[in-house]
Chains A and B, each alone.
Chain A
Amino acid sequence: MKNYQLGEFEEIVLLTVGILNNEAYSVAIKDEIESRLKRTVSMGALHTALIRLEDKGYLKSFSGESTEDRAGRPRRYFEITALGKKAMLYAKETREQLWKAIPKAVLEVSLQKLAVSSHQ
């Protein structure tokens, strides 16, 4: 069995790169995650994740144009590779399998609890 390793944050980054499609570069990814998930993302952590994903072969990057607001530094754009896509699907599928395996009763109760606690 092929082992696609993907951490929680890595998965989020990977998905966000997918959302942004051709516009995925570090600051944009950061902003996207922050706006969608309401969590702060440190550049360092994001960068580490990007490097790791690239090392694993899930992402590939290319240098973009250099712009004024980056003091002349080029942007580095990221794209999801085929392997990356597989890994995303694999992650999604494993989740779904697991979801399905949970008895309904357990899930309802705990979801109700969750809803109650979140309303408080």
Chain B
Amino acid sequence: MKIQPPKRPLQFLRWFCREDYLDEIEGDLIEVFIKQSETSPRKAKWKFAWSVIKYFRPAFIKQMKQQPNPYGMYKSYFKISVRQLIKNKTFTAINISVLTLGFTCFLLLALYLHDELSFDMFHRDAHTIYRITQRDQQDNGTLRNISAVAPTIGKEVQEQFPEVEDMVRLSAFGRVTLGNDPTNRTHERALSADDNFFTFFDFPLVEGDAKTALKEPFTIVVSETIKEKYFGTGSALGKQIWSGYRREGQPIYLTVGGVMKNFPKNSHLQIDILFSDATWHSLYNDYAQYVTTEWVDTEYTTYLKIKPQSNIASLGTRIDALVKSNYPANREFRSSFTLQPMQEIHTNSSQLESAADEFNANGIKPFYLYTFAALGLILLITACLNYMNLATAVAIKRTREIGTRKTLGAPKTQMVAQFITDSMLFTLLSLLLSVALVYLVLPWINIFANKEISISALPVEWLIFVVVIIVLVGVLAALYPAFIATRVSIVDALKREIKIGGRSFSVRKALLIMQFAISVMMIASTLIIYQQLNYLREKDLGFSHENLVVIDVNSRNLRRNFETVKTEFGKPAEILQVAASTRVPGEWKSFPVATTRSSENPTGSEMIFVGIDKDFLETYKIKLLAGRSIEDPVADSLKIVVTQLAVEQLGLISDPIGQTIEIPRVRYGERMEELEAPFRVEIIGVVENFHFESLRSKQMPVIFGALNTEIQVIDYYTLQINTSNWGNTLETLKAINNKIDPDTPLEYTFLDTRFEEMYVADARRGQIFLVLSVIVVIIASLGLFALVSYSVESRLKEIGVRKVMGASISSIVALISKEFLLLVTIAGAIGLPIAGYFMQGWLQEFAYHIPFGVLVFAEALLVTLVIAFITITARTIRAARLNPVNSLRSE
């Protein structure tokens, strides 16, 4: 075997060397190499390689193919693309709106997701903060999860476990009246925290020192909003504010220890006023003892800062053991504790009860996050697929251009570059538009979703990621039409006879069906939601809730001498009626439910028990069917008025009046209270049924008794008002209230607003569905438009021939629409059952709902078909009206 020169250098030489010299050089080098390798083969190889490298100089390097100046070509691509945009105005508009819509939704959802995922992450130590949660097994076997624990636990855990670096406890102490101006006082939530709250968390203080703001008793830290409410602009630090708390009969003044920036919306804590924990030590004598010895109560939301790399799970079990060993001997320990990481609080707290709403605000289920992420991607992809269809349709129109380019020798890459330039132009234009659109709609969305999302909050990585995705998708969407268009033969292109993507057409049909299935689903759901909302609004509740103002009784002064209070409130001319009662319809506090039994119904049924005075039925316009109402609270204290439903359930239909029934026990929310002796009352009247609660729950029977029975005390005044100037009337009411009780502000509610609020979540759902339906329908319609365009463009010649043969415009429109309307109908057949399934579930939440019929689905399908038909016609009619000369001329 002859010695071979090393391969790689030789390859390299052959790659770069001028062809006319190559043979000679190669020959020379090999000759030298062979000669040398006789003495030292190793050295020869190195020498050979080195020589090759030395040949790598301009004189021997091959002339690389001379490129024409590419700039001119880019300019041409751009120019042609712009001309194309201007030439096909409709297509351009539709293309850009398709992409803009998709991008906008994608951007918004990305912003939303980022906001949700960055919840609570503004705290420096967010990754080491944990909240203690407790799981209790209750008497009836069910589990109760609470995000608050006993006060001792936090303290002991911090002292006994070295990995716990810091601890802070929050608690809620009901409500307190605040305000220096006696005519303008309000109830505020009294939330309190340990004094290290502001060093533990990173809620910045505008005024005051984070270390000492909550040290002293009777100091509060208020948010900027609250500061402005009570102190106006300017500094509030050190100022005093009157509070409803009393010591030795004197009102206590609280000192402002600090002003905190309003809590960001992406915090699970939403606190406006924070009391120092020391306040309770000074206010309540036994507080110190309670805090150091209570191991059962779940009132303190406790956060721990834990050293990194600690075993969190084992810490939980050690807390179990700690609490167990300290548990009161007379109680069975059935709890377990877990540490919930800060970043999970927002997404993983829906099953948790919390000590106060302010400590667990705005939670969301992770399911929704996944749904939103999926939705964003689906919208983006659909928009791009629609764009792809449209662009392909346009590409067919441009076949002659493509043919000409090919004839003149344009390489494939150049044509692909042309299409990509087109698409990039669209993508960038749409991207700019959608960013502008996002800026426009974001404030609206922030109000709607109660968020503080801003584009600038998005970190650069996210921004780059989003833009890259969008541009990438834009380019990919361009590649398909580009390759389709460049693959056709020159002759076909020039003859404008292109049959492209025959098989992929069915994929596109499937895609269209999917889009319309979703559209139909959304339309049907929206229709059902709105019909149900309307039903809720219109439904006769059995009483009037219009022009009624309910005054919440919060003080003893207002509760005592209710006759005097009633007369006072009744004095102004615009107040038609005043009624006092223990509870009012549309109740938001829990109401007492009495187990009521009669001789016919010895086990008893649960009935809402409300104490009323003589004016109640008239104020609420509840119809008395038989007998009389409660007239005198003393004389009628053992008499009751019941609803028809109560009569039925008690089995006293024949003659209820004068019957005596028994109430052995009363339930307040979850708490059952056995009365010492059954409360025996006589029925003196029967009223028509009415809905005491929201229409979500089944109508319950109601018993009206006298006020101040053993079951409950007076809690509300209801005023029937006829006024044209609500502002004035409310001022009058406030003045009256102030005269009776200067310490307590007037708390009032409009009853009809109350009822509206019961369905506020549903109304919001309705709005979301409406907006989403519109977007989905627009996207689907544009998709349909694209597909129809595509179909029409490739059938232009057929249409021309048909017209020549005498086909009418309408028959041509019908010919093309038929196929697509069929697709939409199939979509309906898929989408409607799904919508039906989900909406039935939703309607089941209401004890009273609209009948679940076929009609609404027929409506939804009809709406979709009409939209689809308009879309199709808009496109086909133009093609159908085209002079056949134009489409047939090319032969």
- Which chain A residues have a beta carbon within 8 Å of chain B's beta carbons? 26-27, 30, 42-45, 47-48, 51, 66, 69-71, 73-76
Chain B residue, CB-CB nearest to A47: B25
Q: Does B24 contact A (CB under 8 A)?
A: yes
A31 to chain B, nearest CB (A): 9
B10-46: contact bitstring with A at CB < 8 Å (1 yes, 0 no)? 0000000000010111111111101100000000000
**In the complex where A26-B24, A73-B26, A74-B23 touch, is A47 in contact with B31 (Cβ < 8 A)?**
no
Chain A residue, CB-CB nearest to B58: A48
Q: Report whether A26 and B28 are in contact in the complex, using a CB–CB cutoff of 8 Å.
A: yes
Q: Report whether A43 and B27 are in contact in the complex, using a CB–CB cutoff of 8 Å.
A: no
Q: Does B846 contact A (CB under 8 A)?
A: no
- Nearest 5 CB-CB pairings of A with B: A73-B27, A70-B27, A44-B54, A44-B55, A26-B28
Determine which of A51, A66, A73 lies in contact with B59 in the assembled complex, contact meaning CB atoms within 8 Å.
A51
Complex CA–CA separation, A70 to B25 (angstroms): 10
Q: Report whether A48 and B26 are in contact in the complex, using a CB–CB cutoff of 8 Å.
A: no
Determine which of A30, A48, A51, A74 lies in contact with B27 in the assembled complex, contact meaning CB atoms within 8 Å.
A74
Q: Report whether B26 and A71 are in contact in the complex, using a CB–CB cutoff of 8 Å.
A: yes
Q: Does B547 contact A (CB under 8 A)?
A: no
List of B residues within 8 angstroms of A45 by Cβ = 54
List of A residues within 8 angstroms of B27 by Cβ = 66, 70-71, 73-75
Q: List 17 A-B contacts (CB under 8 A).
A: A26-B24, A30-B32, A42-B51, A42-B54, A43-B55, A45-B54, A47-B25, A47-B28, A48-B59, A69-B30, A70-B27, A71-B5, A73-B23, A73-B26, A73-B30, A74-B23, A74-B24
Chain B residue, CB-CB nearest to A73: B27
B9 to chain A, nearest CB (A): 13
Q: Does B57 contact A (CB under 8 A)?
A: yes
Q: Does B60 contact A (CB under 8 A)?
A: yes
**In the complex where A44-B51, A69-B34 touch, is A27 in contact with B59 (Cβ < 8 A)?**
no
Q: Is the interface of B mostly helix, strand, loop or mixed?
A: helix
Complex CA–CA separation, A44 to B56 (angstroms): 8
Complex CA–CA separation, A69 to B26 (angstroms): 12
Q: Report whether B51 and A70 are in contact in the complex, using a CB–CB cutoff of 8 Å.
A: no
Q: Report whether B29 and A43 are in contact in the complex, using a CB–CB cutoff of 8 Å.
A: yes
Q: Is the interface of A mostly helix, strand, loop or mixed?
A: helix
Q: Report whether B54 and A70 are in contact in the complex, using a CB–CB cutoff of 8 Å.
A: no
Q: Report whether A27 and B32 are in contact in the complex, using a CB–CB cutoff of 8 Å.
A: yes
**In the complex where A43-B29, A44-B51 touch, is A73 in contact with B57 (Cβ < 8 A)?**
no
Complex CA–CA separation, A66 to B23 (angstroms): 11
Besides the known contacts A30-B32, A73-B23, 16 further A-B residue pairs in the complex with CB atoms under 8 A apart: A26-B28, A43-B28, A43-B29, A43-B32, A45-B54, A48-B57, A48-B59, A69-B31, A69-B34, A70-B28, A71-B5, A71-B26, A73-B24, A73-B28, A73-B30, A75-B27
**In the complex where A48-B59, A74-B23, A75-B27 touch, is A43 in contact with B54 (Cβ < 8 A)?**
yes
List of A residues within 8 angstroms of B57 by Cβ = 44, 48
B58 to chain A, nearest CB (A): 10
List of B residues within 8 angstroms of A47 by Cβ = 21, 24-25, 28, 55, 59-60
Complex CA–CA separation, A26 to B24 (angstroms): 9
Complex CA–CA separation, A47 to B32 (angstroms): 14
- Which chain B residues have a beta carbon within 8 Å of chain A's beta carbons? 5, 21, 23-32, 34-35, 51, 54-55, 57, 59-60
Complex CA–CA separation, A76 to B54 (angstroms): 20
Q: Report whether B60 and A27 are in contact in the complex, using a CB–CB cutoff of 8 Å.
A: no
List of A residues within 8 angstroms of B24 by Cβ = 26, 47, 73-74, 76
Complex CA–CA separation, A48 to B60 (angstroms): 8
Complex CA–CA separation, A75 to B31 (angstroms): 10
Complex CA–CA separation, A38 to B172 (angstroms): 101
A69 to chain B, nearest CB (A): 5
Complex CA–CA separation, A60 to B5 (angstroms): 29
Complex CA–CA separation, A69 to B30 (angstroms): 7
Chain B residue, CB-CB nearest to A44: B54
Complex CA–CA separation, A48 to B55 (angstroms): 9
List of A residues within 8 angstroms of B29 by Cβ = 43
A94 to chain B, nearest CB (A): 27
Complex CA–CA separation, A30 to B30 (angstroms): 14
Complex CA–CA separation, A48 to B29 (angstroms): 14
Complex CA–CA separation, A43 to B57 (angstroms): 12
**Most B C-beta atoms less than 10 A away, residue of A27, A30, A43, A75:** A43
List of A residues within 8 angstroms of B59 by Cβ = 47-48, 51
Complex CA–CA separation, A47 to B29 (angstroms): 11
Determine which of B26, B31, B54 lies in contact with A27 in the assembled complex, contact meaning CB atoms within 8 Å.
B31
List of A residues within 8 angstroms of B35 by Cβ = 27, 69
Chain B residue, CB-CB nearest to A76: B24
Chain A residue, CB-CB nearest to B4: A71
Complex CA–CA separation, A71 to B37 (angstroms): 14
Q: Report whether B30 and A43 are in contact in the complex, using a CB–CB cutoff of 8 Å.
A: no
Chain A residue, CB-CB nearest to B51: A43
B68 to chain A, nearest CB (A): 28
Chain B residue, CB-CB nearest to A68: B2
Complex CA–CA separation, A82 to B5 (angstroms): 38
List of A residues within 8 angstroms of B25 by Cβ = 43, 47
List of B residues within 8 angstroms of A51 by Cβ = 21, 59
Complex CA–CA separation, A44 to B25 (angstroms): 9
List of A residues within 8 angstroms of B60 by Cβ = 44, 47
Complex CA–CA separation, A48 to B28 (angstroms): 13
Complex CA–CA separation, A75 to B25 (angstroms): 10
A112 to chain B, nearest CB (A): 40
B715 to chain A, nearest CB (A): 106
List of B residues within 8 angstroms of A71 by Cβ = 5, 26-27, 30
List of A residues within 8 angstroms of B34 by Cβ = 69
**In the complex where A47-B25, A47-B60 touch, is A70 in contact with B31 (Cβ < 8 A)?**
yes
Complex CA–CA separation, A42 to B59 (angstroms): 15
Complex CA–CA separation, A42 to B51 (angstroms): 7
B876 to chain A, nearest CB (A): 71
**Most B C-beta atoms less than 10 A away, residue of A30, A70, A76:** A70
Q: Report whether A27 and B28 are in contact in the complex, using a CB–CB cutoff of 8 Å.
A: yes
**Most A C-beta atoms less than 10 A away, residue of B5, B51, B55:** B55
List of B residues within 8 angstroms of A30 by Cβ = 32
B37 to chain A, nearest CB (A): 11
**Most A C-beta atoms less than 10 A away, residue of B21, B29, B59:** B29
Chain B residue, CB-CB nearest to A71: B30
A63 to chain B, nearest CB (A): 9
List of A residues within 8 angstroms of B30 by Cβ = 69-71, 73
Chain B residue, CB-CB nearest to A66: B27
Chain B residue, CB-CB nearest to A30: B32
List of A residues within 8 angstroms of B5 by Cβ = 71
B531 to chain A, nearest CB (A): 90
A34 to chain B, nearest CB (A): 11
**Most A C-beta atoms less than 10 A away, residue of B28, B54, B59:** B28
B254 to chain A, nearest CB (A): 93
Complex CA–CA separation, A51 to B25 (angstroms): 12
B19 to chain A, nearest CB (A): 13
A107 to chain B, nearest CB (A): 38
Chain B residue, CB-CB nearest to A45: B54
A29 to chain B, nearest CB (A): 10
List of B residues within 8 angstroms of A69 by Cβ = 30-31, 34-35
Complex CA–CA separation, A45 to B51 (angstroms): 10
B743 to chain A, nearest CB (A): 105
Chain A residue, CB-CB nearest to B29: A43
Chain A residue, CB-CB nearest to B26: A73
B33 to chain A, nearest CB (A): 9
List of B residues within 8 angstroms of A26 by Cβ = 24, 28
Complex CA–CA separation, A74 to B60 (angstroms): 18
A44 to chain B, nearest CB (A): 4
List of A residues within 8 angstroms of B23 by Cβ = 73-74
Complex CA–CA separation, A76 to B25 (angstroms): 10
B2 to chain A, nearest CB (A): 8
Complex CA–CA separation, A87 to B424 (angstroms): 63
Complex CA–CA separation, A26 to B29 (angstroms): 10
List of B residues within 8 angstroms of A44 by Cβ = 51, 54-55, 57, 60
List of A residues within 8 angstroms of B31 by Cβ = 27, 69-70
A27 to chain B, nearest CB (A): 5
